[in-house]
Chain A
Amino acid sequence: GIQVEQSPPDLILQEGANSTLRCNFSDSVNNLQWFHQNPWGQLINLFYIPSGTKQNGRLSATTVATERYSLLYISSSQTTDSGVYFCAVESGANSKLTFGKGITLSVRP
């Protein structure tokens, strides 16, 4: 099956700093989503982005499908950005998502 690798595994930032989170995948994808899992376990949809670039406030994402990677940018980080960021992809026609191992982000005040 498709492999999804995220890097770095852990990231510690000072409030106000910027960061880039990476997701590499091993095959072509129909769907790529970025999620934020907050400390209470809730998965929040950030982006649906199988290709191209999107922006939502301080967050933006870019997927280069031909090179099989996606990047999530967080600018002016806040403590509420802390949590685990997951990249998930779908490579077939069955809507099943394969998740990466996640990136744990800690933003310190």
Chain B
Amino acid sequence: SAVISQKPSRDICQRGTSLTIQCQVDSQVTMMFWYRQQPGQSLTLIATANQGSEATYESGFVIDKFPISRPNLTFSTLTVSNMSPEDSSIYLCSEGGRETQYFGPGTRLLVL
């Protein structure tokens, strides 16, 4: 199974600022994903992080708000830009491309 780490594990931010979340996988993976889990809700896919090309965003999510980088096959970042209280959520990265998809521990973000 893959081991996935995320930094930071939690943060409290002021509205209008940006936060970059890092995701590190312990082995090379083809596909990496970013999900958002709003309080009391299920997980919603934000985007697929593509190595060497622009991320593929799901409906309702845009690059200006959630820029993503994937410089290599083990690492990705998600930036939450110009934050508002509505961005308070758990952000999770995952790796896919095989049978079982594994998730990082998540980043708990509170925007005041």
Q: Nearest Cβ in chain B — how far from A37, in angstroms?
A: 9
A26 to chain B, nearest CB (A): 16
A68 to chain B, nearest CB (A): 19
CA distance A56 to B42 in the complex (A): 25
At the interface with chain A, which of B13-21, B62-70, B77-85, B92-100?
B92-100
When distances are taken between beta carbons in the complex, the residues of chain A under 8 Å from B103 are: 35, 42-43
Query: CA A41 – CA B101 in complex, angstroms?
Result: 16
Instruction: Please indicate the chain B residues that have their CB under 8 angstroms from the CB of A94 in the complex.
Output: 48
Q: What count of chain A residues pass the 8 Å CB interface test? A: 20
Interface size class of B (residues with CB under 8 A): 20 to 34
Task: Give A58-109 interface residues, CB cut-off 8 Å to B.
Answer: 86, 88, 94-102
Q: Is the CB of A42 within 8 A of B106?
A: yes
Q: How far is the CA of A94 from the CA of B58 in the complex (A)?
A: 13
Does the CB pair B1–A45 fall under 8 Å? yes
Q: Taking CB as reference atom, which chain A residue is nearest B105?
A: A42
B7 at the interface (CB under 8 A from A): no
* B90 interface hit (Cβ, 8 Å): yes
State how many angstroms separate the Cβ of A95 from the closest Cβ of chain B: 4
Whole-angstrom distance between the alpha carbons of A14 and B42 in the complex?
25
Please tell me if the beta carbons of B100 and A100 are within 8 angstroms of each other in the complex.
no
| Min CB–CB distance A48 → chain B (angstroms) | 4
Specify which chain A residues have a CB less than 8 angstroms from the CB of B105 in the assembled complex: 40-42
Contact A101 B101, CB 8 Å, known A41-B90, A95-B96, A96-B48:
no
B residues near A (Cβ < 8 Å) are: 1, 31, 33, 37, 41-45, 48, 90, 92, 94, 96-97, 99-103, 105-106, 108
Q: Which residues of A contact B (CB under 8 A)?
A: 31, 33, 35, 40-43, 45, 48, 86, 88, 94-102
